[in-house]
Structure 1
Amino acid sequence: MMTTAITETHLSHLPLLHRGKVRDIYEIDDRHLLIVATDRVSAFDVILPTAIPGKGAILADIANFWFQRTQNIIQNHCSTMDLREVLSDAADYKCLKNHAVIVKKMHNLPVEAIVRGYISGSAWKSYQHNRQICGIALPAGLQQAQQLPQPIFTPSSKAAVGEHDENVSFEVIVEKIGRELAEQIRQVS
């Protein structure tokens, strides 16, 4: 069992492109990236001081499960490149094999696609303010953590480290990426 948390990675043979709230992203070549899910913990857009050993491995497993499960619904960035080709150093491979995935470079969308079945968190705060979530009117009398009458698509902006993701209306997403792509994201979600 792993007892040491991976809070930051340093792979000297690969350029670090981005260190996010939880993931470190390295460039492998002109077509591939290495994404490492660290054990850092982020809540409410803040990186917390204490990491959880093994969290990144679980996060990577869950993501890989869903990418595999939905690959026939929507194109994803998963690659078949062998991780041992990239992490040729035995110590790096042993440490990161369950945390790292190789992906194809693709265009990143500045959108977080969220589907809610229950009203909680930022959705609850928004509902209390004006009975709406992301511009979607909801019935009066809902209680915190209550199941919604039907699932709703509530996109948010994808903020940089130190900034907060913001819930936005579908029309804001349309303005950012165009109606056709926004509709596709909502439909697939």
Structure 2
Amino acid sequence: MRADYAEQEIMSRVQRLLDNPQLIDDLTTSMNGKRTVDKKPLEQELQRLEKELADIDRKKGKYYRLYEEDILEPKELKAKINELSEIGQRLEQQQVVLRKKTSMNNSVPISPETVKELLTSFSAVFRNISHEKRKQLVHALIQEIAVTADREIGRIALRFNSQQLLTNEEHNTCEQSLAL
């Protein structure tokens, strides 16, 4: 019974989103804002890392020349090259992370129409999935269920993303702003 109520509540929330174009616009603005990051600092950091890696290669070449001129002992050469290689590996790892972040910024913004289409198809998909899959989805979306003293469901809080909960008081008829 509680699972059915939770399923009905989820469908009700999805329908409220569909019925309010402003909420869909707010949702897409929020999602797109989280997907974009200012590229300039990332690009500057990438350039700095590239310069440091080039500097490491230059230093390695210098140490090899000193070794060839018999100024540097093999042990010293190995120690210095290993040290520079470790630093270079760390810088390359940082570079990979930064490149992933900058490539994420190249993604196409999500349109309100896309969100509306997904929400519209959600109802059909939700009805057609197996009971077990539906149960898993409901459990994933529910943040909290508050039960009253007479063991009735008083409130269900749904998690639509990791930072925002949509809550609805069962006995409270006033609409809350669903700012996403």
TM-score, normalised with respect to structure 1 = 0.22
More strand by share: 1
TM-score, normalised with respect to structure 2 = 0.23
Q: RCO greater where, 1 or 2, for CA within 8 Å and sep 6 or more?
A: 2
More helix by share: 2
Q: Between Structure 1 and Structure 2, whose CA radius of gyration is higher?
A: 2
